[in-house]
């Protein structure tokens, strides 16, 4: 079994849920809101992400077993999804799996409850986030690792909340160049983590690949 690595877990979650690269989406979705409404939406987004992410972390493994899916099958499939998201970030394109298709994005704009849909799901807690939460939760064993898992997820949520609460200020001072550089860098990190997910899954499914 792959051992839990809190640093890699943080890197994967931060790359997918990156508050700064998702800030333009938040600003666009809350365009026209009063400052108080925007702050309220930011708090709701953080709460929804915590609840939805926590649910997948708690029941994800049981859900896989209920459908008869081996965690290594999910690791390969989920790794491919994460890889596509990372490659999309490297190429400057949003993944339709994570951000929705063009038609779905049109429905996003017509929605009043933007805090949950689309900001929480599927933009922040989409397939890539869900895959990462389930796989790293499966690796976390024992009280210490579970505490590290919770702290990492909590830290990401706290960063998300702070950035969205300060959306107006940060949006004015974060240049487009900085956003592009961060997106490309996070895409590279995410792609590397995805390759590792796929490799670990394949080695478990096909022991000959690991030389055993």
Helices (H), 67-175: 71-90, 96-99, 102-110, 127-139, 142-165, 167-173
Q: In this prediction, what percent of the chain has a pLDDT beyond 90?
A: 39
pLDDT for 38 equals 92
Is residue 212 pLDDT above 70, yes or no?
Answer: no
The predicted pLDDT at position 110 comes to 46
What are the CA-CA distances from residue 182 to residues 14, 69, 124, 128, 185 (Å)? 11, 35, 17, 18, 5
Residue 26 vs residues 20, 85, 170, 196: alpha-carbon distances, Å? 10, 19, 12, 31
Domain residue extents for the chain: 35-205
- Judge whether residue 4 has pLDDT over 80: yes
pLDDT of residue 85: 84
Structure-model confidence comparison of residues 179 and 68, the more confident one = 68
Give me 69's structure tokens.
């899916």
Closest CA to 45 of 138, 184, 162: 162
What's the mean pLDDT in 111-134? Answer: 86
* Strongest mean pLDDT among 19-28, 42-51, 117-126, 183-192: 42-51
Q: What's the full length of the chain, in residues?
A: 212
Least confident window among 113-122, 128-137, 152-161, 172-181: 172-181
Average pLDDT of span 28-50: 91
Reading the block at residue 76, the tokens are 């390969």
Q: What is the average per-residue pLDDT within 153-176? A: 91
Averaged confidence pLDDT in the chain: 86
Assess whether pLDDT exceeds 50 at residue 79: yes
Question: Which pLDDT band holds residue 112 (cuts at 50, 70, 90)?
Answer: low
**Under 8 Å CB-to-CB from 51, ≥6 apart: which residues?**
none
The answer to whether 171 and 20 have CB atoms below 8 angstroms apart is no
Q: What is the value of pTM for the model shown? A: 0.81
Nearest of 83, 61, 92, 86 to residue 74 by alpha carbon: 61
pLDDT by residue (tens digit) across 87-109?
888 887 766 555 556 665 555 55
Over range 111-132, report the average pLDDT: 85
Percentage of residues of the chain with pLDDT beyond 70: 89
């Amino acid at each position: 079994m792959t051992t839990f690595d809190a640093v890699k877990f943080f890197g994967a979650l931060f790359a997918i849920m990156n508050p700064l690269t998702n800030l333009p989406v938040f600003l666009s979705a809350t365009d026209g809101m009063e400052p108080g409404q925007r702050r309220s939406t930011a708090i709701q987004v953080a709460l929804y992400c915590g609840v939805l992410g926590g649910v997948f972390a708690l029941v994800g493994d049981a859900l896989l077993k209920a459908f008869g899916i081996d965690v290594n099958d999910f690791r390969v499939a989920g790794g491919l999804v994460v890889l596509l998201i990372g490659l999309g970030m490297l190429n400057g394109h949003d993944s339709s799996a994570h951000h929705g298709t063009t038609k779905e994005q049109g429905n996003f704009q017509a929605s009043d409850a933007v805090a949950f849909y689309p900001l929480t799901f599927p933009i922040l807690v989409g397939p890539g986030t869900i895959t990462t939460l389930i796989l790293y939760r499966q690796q976390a064993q024992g009280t210490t690792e579970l505490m590290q898992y919770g702290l990492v997820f909590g830290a990401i949520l706290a960063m998300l909340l702070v950035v969205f609460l300060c959306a107006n200020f940060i949006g004015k001072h974060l240049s487009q160049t900085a956003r592009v550089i961060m997106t490309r860098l996070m895409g590279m990190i995410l792609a590397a983590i995805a390759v590792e997910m796929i490799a670990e899954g394949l080695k478990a499914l096909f022991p000959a690949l690991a030389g055993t």
